[in-house]
Every structure is written in C-alpha cells, then in structure tokens.
Amino acid sequence: MIRSAQSRTIHAGHVSGAVVRCGVSDAMLAELPVSVVFFYDKELDLDRLAAGLAEALGRVPLFGGRLRVGEDGLEIVCSDAGVPLVVSEAAETLPEAMSRMTLGSSGYVDHVEANRAHSGEAPLFTVRVSRLADGGTALGCSWHHVIGDVQSFMTLMRAWSAAVEGTEPPEVGIAGDRESFLDAVLPAEDSGRLGFRIPTATEAELLAHEFRTAPRANRTVQVYFTDAEVAAMKAAFGAATGRRLSANDVLTAHVVTTVRQLDEDAEARDLLLPVNVRRHLGIPAGQLGNLLGEVVLRCAPAGEAAALAGEIRSAVDEFATAHLSLRTNRDFLASVSRERLRDCVPLGFDPANRTFTLSSWSRAGVYEVAFEGHRPLAFSPGASVQLPWVAWLVEGFAGAGQLLTVVLPARLAARLRGEEGRAALHRYRDPAERLPELAVQMKKLA
C-alpha cells in the first residue's frame, strides 16, 4: 500500500535536436508499454538518483522525448520534454513488495500510457521510487516499446548507473532513420517467413476480447529455479541429446513441456522465442531500437523436453540463415496501408492457438545496475498487459538461479501453483536444497 507520493520531472537540461524516424516494425509496438521493477535492500539517495537520471537522459535522449506522427509515420523527437519521477512511501517490506510486483495494482510502477504517448500527450518513460517499510527501495520503470527492446532500456540503465557511480558510460547508437539503418545491415534475402498476419474480422474481435478480459481471465505465476536445478537439467538433457545445451535451452524446454502437460494439451502448438539480432548481424550492443527477430518452433504433443531443448539449440545456432525474417517482415508491413498497419498482429499473439512466447532477459545485466554501490536484490517484469501464454526468464535473487514469470489462464495458473504443478516444475530439484531466504518469504512463488 502506497502512503504518499511526490512527483518531479527530470530533464537532461539540453535538447539534442535529434529526430528518430521509426520503422514499420516499431509502429507495430506503438500501443505497448514495458514495465519492470528493481528491488534494493538499501534506501537510495533521491537527489543522486535524480541527478544521475538527468545525465543519462543527455546520453540516451529518446527516453526523455515525445512521439509525433510525421509524413512518413511515427517519429521520436528528442525534445527533452522530460521524465516523471514519482517518490512514494510504501507500507510493505521488501519481501511483501516483491510478492506483489506482478500485480497491475501493485503501485510500484507507473505504466506508460501508450495510447496518449502515441499522440505526444504523455511521456515515453516513467520512474517510481518507492521507499519500503524495512529500509529497502523499489525502483519501478516503464517505457514505451517504440523506443526499443529490453537491451535499449538496459543501455539507459547502464548510463544511469554510470552517472551515479562515476564509472564509464556505455556507447549509445541512435539511428536517425531506422529503416535505412536496417537496410545497411540486413542480408538481401532471409528465411521468407512472415512474423505478422492480418486477422479476419472474426479473429480480430476475439483478440480484442482477449485484451478486454485479460485482467479477469489470466493470472501471473512466478517460479524460481536454483542454479543446481538448472545444472541437473543441463546434465540430463545433454546426456539425452548428446549436445551441449545452455541454461536457456533447457529451462525453456522444461517449462513449455511441463505447462503443456499440466494443461493436458494434446495438440501440436507453436513456440515463439524472441531473439536479439545485434550479435547475429554485427550490430553494437548499445544500438537503440527494436532489434528483435524470432524463432518459431512447432512443438509436438506430449513431446520430450530434452528433444525440444535440442531443437531450440539448433534453431538459435542457425538463426541468421534459417530464422531471420526482418527483411520479409519489413517488406510486408511496408506494403500495407497505414490504416491496415495497426490491424497487423505478431505471430506470438495467438491465444486461441495457445502460441507460447518466452523471452529470455538473462544476461541482459539487470543485476549490474548499481546505485551507490548497491546492486539489486531482485528484478521482475511488471504487469503492464496481462496477456496469456507470455513468459519471461531472468536471473533470480541477487543474480543466482532463474526466475520465470508466466501469464496463463486462471485455472492453469492455479494448477501450476498447486502441489502437482510444483512437483512437475521442480522434478530436478534436490528436496534437501536450501532456497534463498527471499524465495522462502515470497508468497505464491512456485
């Protein structure tokens, strides 16, 4: 419960003058905010945070700008219109706040109003600093997806942390014309698979119904896997496939297979895995934008987790030649009129067919965001849009283990949290293993 709040607007203090012409892929994300919460076990100095954010906005000015509709589509104007920073006093302790961090009503993040931001009326980035009852701090951030993906956000957070800590800031890449930038780095041909579709009128109404009913129909479940559990999966799945597999490979396969089994789903379903294309295309890490592709795999009913982990590893290894589809997507979206562009739907949003989308934010560096020498004790996505069959993986408490956040239909979510679900999810955990204290204290953590 939030007791009181004060607000100020943070400005860099100078206008960069940059105008970023968004690409057609960015326009597809023009209605979506992304929200996250960092938790620290110390009280952070508000003046140092504010001064550091102002300096970071000078280096990464898109976050302090505003959107406008230009002749050729959406543009981000780096106007230094500013970022609202709200400071509040919370009645909850750190473990209590963490137990509520995925609730839309948690009060620990102010979700960007994407519709108002689209017309330039609202900011593209918000910050809420909540002082917790036991001396901790919750740092809630929300940004408009049109600015960029999670790596773009982390570039800002690295710049913010560097400003407060007095360390070297990250390199920042800003393309004035994102379509021209992609033209220069994309291969002439790609996989040819479309990542978007235009739904029929009937399907569009069903999708609209999903958005309207999402808060009532779905629930968010968080599951903590220890490093030892992940290691056991890697050993078992590696032995079964004869391959070296990553933590992301085995966890994704284990989670998807387990959820399907608990759902008693006998149909073949699609699994969609967003992929950061920077490394695959030689793009610098600090380049801002929605530089994401996706792997789409057809999962057999009652499939084996080890086999799926092997398929995921092959798909990621072969991404640039077999799965990259950015040019195909751009060509398709560019061929659609501006009026129909907003009707297009990404393949990953297909709740009727239970398409499972799992984003890995592991290794994004969220536990390196230090302020005054303090690193986060926990990090989590916030509940900005509660759509079903969407999940995120990120490192767990203090960077140890892995934390899964997944949105599912309410009955299936309850089954995951129940005794049967926990047993299935943690079949690779040693019952004698001792969990981190925060994992024990958090309510509803599976």
- Whether 164 and 252 map to the same domain: the answer is no
- Whether 307 and 432 map to the same domain: the answer is yes
With both helix axes pointing from N to C terminus, report the angle between 227-241 and 247-262 in degrees, rounded to the nearest 10.
Answer: 90
Q: What is the average pLDDT across 202-206?
A: 89
Residue 251 binned pLDDT confidence (cut-offs 50, 70, 90): very high
By C-alpha distance, which of 322, 302, 318 is closest to 310? 318
Residue 336: inside a domain = no
Element (H, E) at 253: helix 247-262
Residue 3 binned pLDDT confidence (cut-offs 50, 70, 90): low
The Cα–Cα gap between 241 and 56 comes to 46
- Whether 209 and 142 map to the same domain: the answer is no
Residue 190: inside a domain = no
Q: What is the average pLDDT across 111-140?
A: 94
Give yes or no for a contact between 107 and 57, defined as CB atoms under 8 angstroms apart. Answer: no
- Whether 290 and 404 map to the same domain: the answer is yes
Q: Which residue has the higher pLDDT, 3 or 219?
A: 219
Predicted confidence (pLDDT) per residue in 29-47, tens digit: 777 899 999 999 999 999 9
- Whether 274 and 367 map to the same domain: the answer is yes
Q: What string of DSSP letters covers 88-113?
A: EEESS-HHHHHHTTTSTTSSS-----
- Whether 93 and 123 map to the same domain: the answer is yes
By C-alpha distance, which of 296, 286, 37 is closest to 156? 286
Q: What is the average pLDDT across 186-193?
A: 92
- What residue type is assigned to position 49 of the chain? L
Phi/psi for 288 (5° steps) reads: -80, 150
Q: What is the average pLDDT across 364-378?
A: 97
Residue 20: inside a domain = yes
Q: Of all residues in the chain, what percent are helix, strand and coil, respectively (each to 5)?
A: 40, 25, 35
Q: What is the mean pLDDT of the chain?
A: 93
As given in the structure block, the two tokens for residue 116 are 């108002």
Domain that holds residue 363: 198-324+344-376+383-441
At which of 127, 147, 182 does a domain end?
Answer: 182
Decide if pLDDT at 235 tops 80: yes
Q: Are strands 292-299 and 345-346 parallel, antiparallel or unpaired?
A: unpaired
Residue 319: inside a domain = yes
> Looking at residue 323, what DSSP letter applies?
I
- Whether 246 and 127 map to the same domain: the answer is no
- Whether 174 and 239 map to the same domain: the answer is no
By C-alpha distance, which of 371, 368, 388 is closest to 379? 368
Q: Residue 1 has what pLDDT?
A: 54
Predicted confidence (pLDDT) per residue in 59-109, tens digit: 999 999 999 988 878 999 999 999 999 999 999 999 999 888 887 778 899
Residue 2: inside a domain = no
Residue 255: inside a domain = yes
- Whether 210 and 135 map to the same domain: the answer is no
At which of 182, 211, 245 does a domain end?
Answer: 182
- What residue type is assigned to position 332 of the chain? F
At which of 182, 217, 241 does a domain end?
Answer: 182
CATH code, 264: 3.30.559.10
Count of domains in the chain? 2
Residue 330: inside a domain = no
With both helix axes pointing from N to C terminus, report the angle between 326-334 and 178-185 in degrees, rounded to the nearest 10.
Answer: 140
- Whether 173 and 316 map to the same domain: the answer is no
Q: Residue 388 has what pLDDT?
A: 93
In angstroms, what is the C-alpha Rg of the chain? 21
Global pTM? 0.95
- Whether 149 and 18 map to the same domain: the answer is yes
Q: Residue 280 has what pLDDT?
A: 94
Q: Which residue has the higher pLDDT, 312 or 387?
A: 312
Predicted confidence (pLDDT) per residue in 429-440, tens digit: 999 999 999 899
Residue 44: inside a domain = yes
Give yes or no for a contact between 285 and 156, defined as CB atoms under 8 angstroms apart. Answer: no
Q: What string of DSSP letters covers 27-67?
A: HTTTT-EEEEEEEESSPPPHHHHHHHHHHHHHHSGGGG-EE
Q: Residue 95 has what pLDDT?
A: 92
- Whether 204 and 270 map to the same domain: the answer is yes
Q: Residue 2 has what pLDDT?
A: 57
